[in-house]
Amino acid sequence: MADAKTERQKVKEITDKLEEGLKELFARNTKTISLPRLFQFLKIKFLMFLVCKKVKN
């Protein structure tokens, strides 16, 4: 049970970081997203997917 709680905390931390990054990204008044930022976003999204999949199993 404690492991599940820590896994949920890790997932929450990751989602919070992702939300902060997205808010920062959209807070800027730019119409283009640089490729490194896009790749970073996709990498974080993929890692979140893996963590969530691990938590479900």
Domain that holds residue 8: 2-56
pLDDT value, residue 22: 77
pLDDT value, residue 1: 55
> What is the number of structural domains in the chain?
1
pLDDT value, residue 8: 84
> Is the pLDDT score of 57 beyond 80?
no
pLDDT value, residue 56: 67
**Could you read off the pLDDT of 4-53 as tens digits, one per residue?**
678 888 888 888 888 887 777 777 756 566 778 778 888 888 888 888 87
- Token pair recorded at residue 52: 């969530």
CA 52 to chain centre: 11
pTM, rounded to two decimals: 0.46
Which residues are CB-contacts of 2 (< 8 A; sequence separation ≥ 6)?
A: none
> CA neighbours within 13 Å on the CB side: how many for 9?
6
